[in-house]
Structure 1
Amino acid sequence: MVVLTVFYVAGILTGELTNIKSSVALAMAGFCFLAAVAGYVVAWRENRRVILILFLLLGLALSRLAVEGSETQLTRYSGRWVTLIGQVVAEPDVREDKVFYLLQARELLQGGERRAAAGAVRLQLKESNRVFGYGDVLSVSGLLARPELPGNPGGFNYRTYLERQGISVVLMARGEKAVEKIGDNLANPLLNIALRLKQKLSSIAVTSLTPSHASVLNGIVFGTQGLIDKETRQAFTETGIVHILSVSGLHIGLVMGGMAGLLRLLKLPPVLTAPLITPVLAFYALMTGINPAVLRATVMALFLLWAHHLGRDRDWPTTMALAALVILLWNPLQIYHPGFQLSFAATWGILYLGPVFSKAVAGFLKGLPAGFPSFVSQALATPLAAQMATVPLVAWYYNLFSPVSIPANLVAVPLVGLIMLFGVFATVSGLVWLPLAGLINLGNGVVLSLFTQVVSFFQNLPGAVFYLSTPPLVLAVVWYGGLLATGWLLSGGCSPVAKERIKGWIIVGVVLGAALLLIWMPWKGGPGMTVHFLDVGQGDSILVQTSGGRNMLIDTGGRPGEFQTGTGAGDQVVTPYLRKIGVRRLDVLVLTHPHEDHFGGAAAIFNYFPIGMVLVTHVDEKDCEGGGVLEYEDTTSGNKKGESDLGEEIPAAYTTLLARITAAGVPVRVAGAGDTLRLDRETVIEVLSPGEMTGESKAYLNNQSLVLKLTYRHKSFIFTGDVEVEAQKGLLNREADLKANVFKVPHHGSQSLLPELVEQVKPEVAVISVGAHNNFGHPAQSTLDMLYRAGARVCRTDQDGAVIMRTDGYKLDVKGGKN
């Protein structure tokens, strides 16, 4: 069974690497099936290779069918405003500011025409107080779109994520008037009963607990994470116990254990244990929405439960392989889901490494009282084995390593058991009498408070979490090879001669792993300089990495309302990208001017990265001129009403941010034309603007943008913020050296670009940081034509994704993130 599953998985992976049609793969698999049947009848052992090839082709065919099945006719209407009629076929995902629904399309109205439609649609509904339920038939008006491919290397591929769930398009709607319930047609009455019961039990928790405690309890019991605040989720992630907030093997195990204990209490015969627990687990899975993560945990638990029932405990590899095969036959694309990989890796670690780790720990504790070594060894071995088995996957997908994960789990898991026990008693009691639920949850609230304090304690320990750059795949291969060899050696399952041979290979593996670590670790310094123009949509964010190992971030992107919500370009785009490439500290953060599309993500950056210095523009015209050393100045003083001397209002969020940075002891330097900053021995920054402007219209914060010229050996870059015509004229009048190899086009390529400025810069490459399908008409065609006439290569973040430039100071290499 293990070998068959391996070949099936190999077929799925082959499907990802090839574009072979599913019909071709199915024909090949059918031929192989006939040959396998004939071979089995004649002689199985001599023809088993045919069976293996059959499973490989089956995996290939089903994976291609799954990919092709997600490509529905709805993709033809991407980018259009439509009215869609569809049925809610899963539990709504309720967030603080929006609700997500999974709709099965029935009809589509567009351009006055009504036509039949089919396919899964993800509906995103904002600004609506009403939450619709499973089975409701809705009429929704909004923008139908196919998710964009990630613009930054290693970025989250939302399109692929949805396609692997059979969803090809999203429908974006806003407000109560955009959606109307026009009927209901319950597809699955049993699922409807389970979801309604869950909704009722969840509401009892909300009524009888504080909002923060209720959200955590509902996350633990039902896996509902939408209303858990971002800070809490981050704390759970950084301490390695985020699995507690989603229904996983832990929760299924607690339910199984609770049921087994109840059956023993009722003195029922053991032969009834598996048959009685199975429907309870199935109904619990339905209550939690039977999403892929729940399905994985339930299937694995049921297979292990029945393996124990049938006396097949020791054959756990076959049980695991069969569970994986069942899940992947249902949906082959689950193989790519991080949850699938983490679930099976952790289970493998517990079953394969757990016993040998337990034995090894017990050996160290021989001198302790009887029974104590066994208890401690088992308590330590399980989280240690699970963490060792998932380290490469967590580093790959989340770019972090949490040394406190093992002690945090040791303390948190028993508390989770208590929380679930109290929670179940309280919610079930609340169905009969709500005050009783409130009384029980008084005690549960104390446990929840202790639980969250424990998580906070571990999160705030020095060295609790390390953010890593994405490791190479070969390092994961070496890691898992080492774990296999270690488990084999410690289990005593090999001869002395084999042990010596394995030890030799382990030494080779350790040396190879150390070499890979040296290559992988983001040591300071490197060959040349790299400049990353990130794709943050309609905004700017540019990372400069010097040959001396310094990191300078120019602007942070920003989406409307991001500073207030804390969610947007800063935490969803810039921070993950910096972590993936190994940036752990920013030596300089530059905020070119106080507009949200340039500084909106700065709060997240300030929260997640140590910053050496912040460079800002001044909004008072009298202070625009610089002249040398960048001295610290409190830019929040003298501006009580939030207006600059130039007349335009300064966002309150900007002054609040600078006040926070100042209070944290980070130097804030105010720059003007004539100032210089040396990043390292060979990298110099000159501030070209703001300075004295010409023209009538001075009331633009855009014109106060910091304009920087970076010079590294024989190559130079000019970063222009959002300077308008007046500031551009000021640059020309100051007769500064504007010639540069790379020109960051001002204001997202708007029509305000002066041809005289382009003539002075003479760029080889012009970069336009702009959002796809923006409402401003950026970039202007006149600006594009001007740059083309100047002979510049034009790179656009809306088309090319991130624009990444590497130079040794003599040659310049330019690549796009989508290429």
Structure 2
Amino acid sequence: MNRPLVILTICFIAGILAGEYTHLNATIALALAAFSFLAAAAGHVLGWRENRLLILLLFLSLGLGLSRLWVEESKPPLVDYAGQRVVLVGWVSEEPDVRADKVYYLLQAQELVRGEERISISGTVRLSVKEASQVFAYGDLLKISGLLSRPDPAGNPGAFDYRTYLERQGIMVQLLARGDSAVQKIGLAGASPLHSIALKVKHKLADTATASLTTSQAAVLNGIIFGTQGMIDRETRRTFSETGVVHILSVSGLHVGLVLGGLLGLLRLLRLPPGFIAPLATPLLAFYVLMTGLNPAVLRSAIMALLLIWAHHLGRDRDWPTTLALAALLILLWNPLLIYHPGCQLSFAATWGILYLGPVLTSACSALLKGLPDKMARAVSLALAVPLAAQLATIPLVAWYYNLLSPVSIPANLLAVPLVGLIMGLGLLATALGLIWLPLASLVNVATGLSLDLFLALVGAFQQLPGAVIYLATPPVILMAAWYAGLLAAVRARSAGRIAGLRQGIAGWLPAVVLVVALVLIWWPWSGGRFLTVHFIDVGQGDSVLVQTPGGHSILIDSGGMTGELTTGTGVGDQVVEPYLRRLGVNRIDVLILTHPHEDHCGGAVSLVRHFPVRLAVVSPALETPGGSERDKSSEGGTVSSAYTELLQKMRDDGIPVRCAAAGDNLRLENGIEIEVLAPLETAEGTKPDPNNCSLVLKLSCGGRSFVFTGDAELAEQKELILQAADLKTDVLKIPHHGSRFLLPELVELADPEAAVISVGAHNTFGHPAQSTLELLERTGINVYRTDRDGAVIVQTDGYNLEVRTGKKTGWDVKTINRSDL
């Protein structure tokens, strides 16, 4: 068996993946593993020729059994109390994750308090504390009062599934608490002393290193040295992601290499023999791993580094595929479900790319640099080949998880990595001097701050370059597999060298092949096809509807939003709607329609207009006087924030045409697709008293099918529609105001839809959808879809038939409504 550990690790991984789809009972899978072990042992004794097949089956069943055991044992009794307010006693089992607005803790539960009753209980809990001034430490025993819950499954197809993400870490429930009074420290738990010391040292070093830096500089420095990202603002993280240098903020091979480089430099300075490297590197890396967190990337880097160092120390052969496989096997034995962790996948893929593709790319680069001196050509070739190899190996995964490709990644890494080494060196020097006398650290941090500013400015400059980032639709799995198969085949063909001139031939056509495959991988939506697709996006308690036309145009009706999002620019827009559009390959918004100026319908637009080109904005006349100027309006519907008018002004300043629409207006982007504005009427008096009753009511027509979108129209506007005999007849009706009780039966009767969609948030405090509304729709026999229950509701039509799909993880509900059904 060639490189047996590689084959066995692949079998183990295959078993884990099989467990995800078979849901086989862990007992059965482990019994199969035990049988395979006994059979393989007997085969070894008896010398069976096919014994290797039993060994492969052993690792396959072991992966299957351990992964199912991990899933089954991660369901603690705490799940039974989800949805209740409880008092929980537990100890902090990991370093707290401090954010600007909250603190996250990982708790090991010990006791549940209900009145006078105390229940001993176990399980891992994710604690989120808002509005707290105190941060507790690893090992603290806490008593918390809060709401115990399970995260809702992802409602939008392809969206980040927070519930599954936590479950794969063995966390089934979360505890939500607010304020200092909700959490109190009642003692200390039996935490690991070594881990506790490592974290205390880390905090001391971090505080010393950043004492004289600005908040933003300190956040980035802590990210570079320790991988602590909680205090780095969202826009900075976006900049790092779009330029392909985000790995700098995650402790991985680069950081481990710099730590080892520092150790080697110290040993040379002290003139100690090479035999000291392995014994000293082992505790140093182990301590560094504890300090920076047991994440997959740093574990992989540390394990591989130690294996290679000890192999050299003991005079053993060093084989990187075996080393990589052993690192993967050890990590997955610790937690089999880490195979699904994006950081784990990206770390191993990048390492494989550097080690497998790197030599070939280095050779190709050297051939292009023949005119340079050998040492210089070698250095330049390595500098180009390493980031290129890592990028080629991770393109499919980055496209899958983040829907982007960064063409500037290679030059950004070429210039950024040397700066990272300088910043780490200065940071560590400031720490060492600060431990002696803090003003000495301040002197060093003058240079550290300048280096950080230069680093951030450099990365920001790369982000601003034309074409710095290309957003991609989520690639199909078959294309991802084809990409890796192509890389394997290309390297094998180049390495074979059996045909005369093969190397030169490969060097000529390999770039063309890579380019062609890249274009396929981009999965560019060249046209919309022959279907009109309407996506009622699950944005929680709000509205956002994406319309994709057969001609490839994208129309967004409302953008969702949460309280304060018009001011902060972060929330539903950048966390839900933007990723949804990116996954579909939507990179521009042809028409942005804001039905009315309430934040749950327009808050997300602040982020969207910042990150998407918008060709036209259509808004409600709610804030327009007859002369066309905006003003705030207080009414029974609430006060409209001035932030909304600032949003409209910003769009105008950015060159986006902003048009106020009213009944009778029409919008036609292509033949056969038309949007008609049914309400509100444009009256001489101008603004109406309630923004809800000034909602744009729209009818979208495609062939013989139509959709009516009603915004938050309440009784007054509904009566107006009926009195004006508006053409409400439709196939799909978006129920007004999230299914509130203010719904006229006459409106539903005139619309006579085949399907109705209610955009509403789960567990909302408004009582939406109202029982009376649900009963009304049930009496009429309409197919009712709700985003809180069904997730995204996606309706597709060719102008003749309708197909409805829903996006909850419980499965795709597909219903076809044929013309004959009407």
1:289 Cα shift?
2.5
Match of residue 86 from structure 1: 90
Corresponding residue SS for 2:210: helix
Cα distance in structure 1, aligned partners of 2:529 and 2:521:
13
Matched residue type, 1:21: N
Match of residue 534 from structure 2: 531
1:50 to 43, 48, 54: 54
Cα distance in structure 2, aligned partners of 1:698 and 1:608:
32
Does residue 169 of structure 2 align to residue 172 of structure 1?
no
Matched residue type, 2:564: G
**What do residues 262-308 of structure 1 show as CA deviations (whole Å, max 9, x unaligned)?**
11221111122111111111111111122333323222222233233
Match of residue 725 from structure 1: 715
Does residue 454 of structure 2 align to residue 450 of structure 1?
yes
Matched residue type, 1:194: A
Does residue 814 of structure 2 align to residue 811 of structure 1?
no
Tell me if the contact between 1:722 and 1:746 (Cα under 8 Å) persists in the aligned partners. Answer: yes
Match of residue 607 from structure 1: 610
Tell me if the contact between 1:772 and 1:798 (Cα under 8 Å) persists in the aligned partners. Answer: yes
Match of residue 657 from structure 2: 667
Identity %: 62
Match of residue 564 from structure 2: 561
Could you tell me which runs of 5 or more consecutive residues in structure 2 were left unpaired when the two chains were aligned.
813-822
Tell me if the contact between 1:79 and 1:143 (Cα under 8 Å) persists in the aligned partners. Answer: yes
Corresponding residue SS for 2:729: coil
Cα distance in structure 2, aligned partners of 1:9 and 1:678:
52
Moved more, 59-68 or 186-195: 186-195
Cα distance in structure 2, aligned partners of 1:311 and 1:710:
73
Tell me if the contact between 1:619 and 1:644 (Cα under 8 Å) persists in the aligned partners. Answer: no
Does residue 317 of structure 2 align to residue 317 of structure 1?
no
Match of residue 224 from structure 1: 228
Match of residue 32 from structure 1: 36
1:688 to 678, 685, 697: 678
Tell me if the contact between 2:714 and 2:743 (Cα under 8 Å) persists in the aligned partners. Answer: yes
Structure 1 residues 422 and 36, CA, compared in 2 at 3 Å: closer, same or farther? same
Structure 1 residues 556 and 65, CA, compared in 2 at 3 Å: closer, same or farther? same
1:440 to 414, 423, 444: 444
Cα distance in structure 2, aligned partners of 1:106 and 1:195:
23
Tell me if the contact between 1:532 and 1:544 (Cα under 8 Å) persists in the aligned partners. Answer: yes
Structure 1 residues 346 and 310, CA, compared in 2 at 3 Å: closer, same or farther? farther
Matched residue type, 2:330: V
Corresponding residue SS for 2:211: helix
Match of residue 19 from structure 2: 15
Structure 1 residues 514 and 403, CA, compared in 2 at 3 Å: closer, same or farther? closer
Matched residue type, 1:315: D
Tell me if the contact between 1:619 and 1:645 (Cα under 8 Å) persists in the aligned partners. Answer: no
Could you tell me which runs of 5 or more consecutive residues in structure 1 were left unpaired when the two chains were aligned.
624-632
Cα distance in structure 1, aligned partners of 2:723 and 2:682:
9
Cα distance in structure 2, aligned partners of 1:305 and 1:401:
35
Does residue 698 of structure 2 align to residue 708 of structure 1?
yes
Match of residue 729 from structure 2: 739
Cα distance in structure 2, aligned partners of 1:353 and 1:594:
53
Moved more, 683-692 or 293-302: 293-302
Does residue 643 of structure 2 align to residue 653 of structure 1?
yes
Pairing 1:419-438 to 2, within 5 Å after superposition: 419-438=423-442
Matched residue type, 2:526: W
Match of residue 820 from structure 2: none
1:151 to 132, 142, 155: 155
Pairing 1:486-635 to 2, within 5 Å after superposition: 486-491=490-495, 493-496=496-499, 517=520, 520-619=523-622, 623=626
Does residue 288 of structure 2 align to residue 298 of structure 1?
no
Pairing 1:322-361 to 2, within 5 Å after superposition: 322-361=326-365
2:281 to 253, 267, 277: 277
Cα distance in structure 2, aligned partners of 1:648 and 1:33:
70
Matched residue type, 1:668: V
1:510 Cα shift?
5.3
2:135 to 131, 135, 139: 131
Structure 1 residues 528 and 149, CA, compared in 2 at 3 Å: closer, same or farther? same
Tell me if the contact between 1:538 and 1:774 (Cα under 8 Å) persists in the aligned partners. Answer: yes
Cα distance in structure 1, aligned partners of 2:667 and 2:450:
53
Structure 1 residues 297 and 44, CA, compared in 2 at 3 Å: closer, same or farther? farther
Does residue 788 of structure 2 align to residue 798 of structure 1?
yes
Structure 1 residues 753 and 646, CA, compared in 2 at 3 Å: closer, same or farther? closer
Pairing 1:453-472 to 2, within 5 Å after superposition: 453-472=457-476
Matched residue type, 1:10: A
Structure 1 residues 3 and 612, CA, compared in 2 at 3 Å: closer, same or farther? same
Cα distance in structure 2, aligned partners of 1:370 and 1:499:
24
1:160 Cα shift?
0.8
1:644 Cα shift?
5.9
Moved more, 608-617 or 521-530: 521-530
Moved more, 509-518 or 229-238: 509-518
1:622 Cα shift?
6.4
Cα distance in structure 2, aligned partners of 1:47 and 1:512:
44
1:45 Cα shift?
5.4
Tell me if the contact between 2:738 and 2:759 (Cα under 8 Å) persists in the aligned partners. Answer: yes
Cα distance in structure 1, aligned partners of 2:515 and 2:567:
47
Match of residue 629 from structure 1: none
Structure 1 residues 809 and 293, CA, compared in 2 at 3 Å: closer, same or farther? same
**What do residues 715-738 of structure 1 show as CA deviations (whole Å, max 9, x unaligned)?**
111100001101111111111211
1:496 Cα shift?
2.5
Match of residue 626 from structure 1: none
Corresponding residue SS for 1:496: coil
Does residue 741 of structure 2 align to residue 751 of structure 1?
yes
Corresponding residue SS for 1:17: helix
1:245 Cα shift?
0.7
Matched residue type, 2:432: V
TM-score w.r.t. length of structure 2: 0.94
Matched residue type, 2:407: P
Matched residue type, 2:218: A
Structure 1 residues 516 and 113, CA, compared in 2 at 3 Å: closer, same or farther? farther
Cα distance in structure 2, aligned partners of 1:346 and 1:44:
39
The root-mean-square deviation of aligned C-alpha atoms, in Å, is: 2.3
Cα distance in structure 1, aligned partners of 2:478 and 2:633:
55
Tell me if the contact between 1:643 and 1:650 (Cα under 8 Å) persists in the aligned partners. Answer: yes
Match of residue 628 from structure 1: none
Does residue 673 of structure 2 align to residue 679 of structure 1?
no
**What do residues 460-487 of structure 1 show as CA deviations (whole Å, max 9, x unaligned)?**
1100000000001111111111211222
Structure 1 residues 417 and 606, CA, compared in 2 at 3 Å: closer, same or farther? same
1:372 Cα shift?
1.5
Cα distance in structure 1, aligned partners of 2:70 and 2:166:
12
TM-score w.r.t. length of structure 1: 0.94
Structure 1 residues 9 and 648, CA, compared in 2 at 3 Å: closer, same or farther? closer
Matched residue type, 1:61: G
Structure 1 residues 497 and 222, CA, compared in 2 at 3 Å: closer, same or farther? same
**What do residues 675-714 of structure 1 show as CA deviations (whole Å, max 9, x unaligned)?**
11112111111111112799xx963211111111111111
1:791 Cα shift?
2.1
Match of residue 819 from structure 2: none
Moved more, 266-275 or 397-406: 266-275
